[in-house]
Amino acid sequence: MPRLPRANLIGVPQHVIQRGNNHQACFACQQDYATYAGWLTDYADKFSVSIHAWVFMTNHVHLLCTPHDNDSISHMMQGLGRQYVRYFNDFHQRSGTLWEGRYKSCLVQEEDYLLQVYRYIELNPVRAHMVEQPEDYHWSSYQINALGKKSPLCSPHPLYLSLGQTATQRQETYQALFNQPINKQLTENIRQGIKSGMAIGDTLFKEHVEALTGCRMHPKKMGRPPATDD
C-alpha cells in the first residue's frame, strides 16, 4: 500500500515517532540518551522546531513538537537521524542501519487533544512497566512539565502555559491531568493517527487539514463503489 504524503502546517503541533529497525535498541547506555537529547536540542533550534514533550524509550522515540518553517520537522529528523547513527555505529563498533525507515508523524488538534498526547507520550514508561510513576523515568519531559526541572530542550506550548498564571500553578494543574487514565478510545485514536499519518482531532479539524494540505485525513471506505446507470 503506498504511504500517504506527510501533512505539514506551520504552527500546528505534530506527534512524531521513530523506531529502531526490527525493534532493536537505539539506546544502549546513558551516554546514548544524553547524546541524542543534546543533538535534538541543537537540530530543533537550527530548524525552528519547538519541542513540547518527549520520551526516549529503549527502541523508539516519541516527540510532540511544533514547526515554525516549512518542512522544519523533516529537516530536523533527517539531520538528527544521520548524526546519531554515525555516533551510535562508531561508539558501539557496529555498522548498518539503525532506524526503521522514515519516522512517522501526524498533526494534532490543540483543543481537547494536545494535552492528551502530552500524557500519552510521558506515560509510555509506565505502560511499558519500566517505572511505576512517570516522574521516575529520567528520559522524558514529565519532570520538566510537571515538576519544573529546567531543560533547554523543552518549549512550552501556549496551551500548557494557559494551565496557570505561575509556573507552580501550571505544574500542579498538569500533575492533576495524570490522576485519571487516558480514555481507551482516545489512546486507540492516538495510535491509529501515528500509524496512518492522519490527523488526531475532530471531523472539522480533519476537514480543515485536508483543505489546506490536500492530504487525506479520513480512511477510505471499504467495499466496491456503488453501481451507476450507463
Tens digit of each residue's pLDDT (9 = 90 or more) over 147-184: 999 999 999 999 999 999 999 999 999 999 999 888 88
Is residue 226 assigned to a domain?
A: no
Model confidence at 116: pLDDT above 80: yes
Is residue 214 assigned to a domain?
A: no
Distance between CA atoms of residues 45 and 174, nearest Å: 25
State mean pLDDT over 11-30: 95
Is residue 186 assigned to a domain?
A: yes
pLDDT band with cut points at 50, 70 and 90 for residue 3: low
CA atoms within 13 A on the CB side of 72: 23
Residues 6+ apart with CB under 8 A from 7: 106, 107, 197, 199, 209, 213, 215, 217
CB 107 within 8 A of CB 190: no
pLDDT at 170: 97
Q: What is the CATH number of the domain that holds 183?
A: 3.30.70.1290
> Which residues form the domain of 134?
14-207
Residue 64 burial by Cβ neighbours in a 10 Å radius (0-12, 13-18, 19+): buried
State mean pLDDT over 21-36: 96
Question: How many CB atoms sit inside 10 A of residue 63's CB?
Answer: 26
Model confidence at 31: pLDDT above 50: yes
Please tell me whether residue 69 adopts helix, strand or coil conformation: coil
Is residue 130 assigned to a domain?
A: yes
pLDDT at 183: 87
Is residue 113 assigned to a domain?
A: yes
Question: How many CB atoms sit inside 10 A of residue 210's CB?
Answer: 16
Q: Model-level pTM? A: 0.91
Is residue 54 assigned to a domain?
A: yes
pLDDT at 6: 80
Tally of structural domains, the chain: 1
Cα–Cα distances (Å) from 40 to 35, 75, 82, 98, in that order, read 9, 12, 12, 17
Is residue 1 assigned to a domain?
A: no
**Among positive and negative, which fits the CA dihedral 39, 73, 147, 167?**
positive
Model confidence at 26: pLDDT above 70: yes
